[in-house]
Amino acid sequence: GESVGLHLPTLSVQEGDNSIINCAYSNSASDYFIWYKQESGKGPQFIIDIRSNMDKRQGQRVTVLLNKTVKHLSLQIAATQPGDSAVYFCAENMNTGFQKLVFGTGTRLLVSP
Amino acid sequence: GAVVSQHPSWVICKSGTSVKIECRSLDFQATTMFWYRQFPKKSLMLMATSNEGSKATYEQGVEKDKFLINHASLTLSTLTVTSAHPEDSSFYICSALRELSYNEQFFGPGTRLTVL
């Protein structure tokens, strides 16, 4: 079936380092991808998105890269801070017309001071 | 803008009782809302799509008689867990779809349900 998965369940970094979180997706028809941050006991928080007609998009300290050839998505966080510690999910829009999102398994980012 | 609230934020109930969770879009109207379930250290799993003025669309494996969804207005959807059992204990999250130049889902803060 269609799925979105992540390579690393936990990523530990030092404060100030750059973090890269990866995601693989399997539905080549998906046209929209989003990265969410979820802190413990809270709902997902939008970080950045990218459409399938782009391969890179930058925000404040974050960059999303999309490689449609290998169906790979990554989130880069520059100068990682302790406040970035959370679980990060990628999600893909299945392009079914109903705006359904399929979430990946998640990566926990731990930032040490 | 684009704030979504949920009420209650947590609830504890006894087995066999029913629990209603509300999802509200506070500053925009949402024809479509979504209900997700999340187990500890797991990802979000879509349960159903809630459509204002019509029946909800349930994902495969989700019991519609168990999880009743009502989307009676453009700012409110409710999820009722009927005859709750301990295995229904979970984190329930809703999202509301804001339809602008392109659609975007905004998530609520979640409701922690514990069934004793």
Q: Tally A–B CB contacts below 8 A.
A: 47
DSSP state of B88: G
**Collapsed DSSP state (helix, strand, coil) of residue A86:** strand
- A89: chain B residues, CB-CB within 8 Å: 43-44
How far away is chain B from the Cα of A106, in angstroms, using its nearest Cα? 6
A95 pLDDT higher than 70: no
**C-alpha–C-alpha distance, residues B67 and B69, integer Å:** 6
Report which of B17, B23, B49 is spatially closest to residue B111, judged by C-alpha positions.
B23
Is A98's CB within 8 Å of B49's CB? yes
What pLDDT does A5 receive?
53
Q: Which two tokens stand for residue B112?
A: 């922690």
| Percent of chain B predicted with pLDDT > 90 | 83
Order of strands, edge to edge, in the sheet holding A19-25? A4-5, A19-25, A72-77, A62-67, A56-58
Average pLDDT, chain A: 89
Q: In Å, what is the CA distance from A69 to each residue of A56, B41, B73, B81?
A: 14, 30, 42, 42
The values of phi and psi at residue A23, to 5°, are: -150, 135
What pLDDT does A6 receive?
45
Is A101's CB within 8 Å of B46's CB? yes
Question: Which contiguous run of DSSP H or E holds residue B55?
Answer: none
What pLDDT does B41 receive?
85
* Minimum CA–CA partner of A101 in chain B: B46
